[in-house]
Amino acid sequence: MTRSELIAELVAANPHLQGRDVELIVSTVFDEISGALARGERVELRGFGAFTVKKRDARTGRNPRTGESVSVEEKVVPFFKAGKELRERINLGGQSRARRPARPSAARLTLLPD
């Protein structure tokens, strides 16, 4: 899914929001995650996963075309670790959601009539 597809789906799912507002929201979220990672901070989205940065030490690599040894400098790379709920949802695969065991969640709220 591309960024524009994400925005289009969010607009379709939330008709009360304007497209430019959804685009601003998505851009702001991505910018904040990128900024935090650039500062070396960890970003955790409960139920989704955690973004961190990892340091890769300098090493000697090989040019795949020529086989020549090449020095690769030390660098910092982004790393994502999927959360438990995301892994469970992905592993659910083609199964029906009805088969999934019910689990209480703080995000769910059921309103009962008086």
Q: Is the pLDDT of residue 15 over 80?
A: yes
Least confident of 4-18, 40-54, 100-114: 100-114
Q: What is the pLDDT of residue 94?
A: 56
DSSP calls for 17-61: S-HHHHHHHHHHHHHHHHHHHHTT--EEETTTEEEEEEEE--EEE
- pLDDT, tens digit, for every residue of 27-77? 999 999 999 999 999 999 999 999 999 999 999 999 999 999 999 999 999
Q: Which residues sit opposite 88 in a β-bridge?
A: none
Q: Domain 3-89 class?
A: few secondary structures
Residue-range domain boundaries for the chain = 3-89
Nearest Cα to Cα of residue 33 among 76, 1, 79:
79
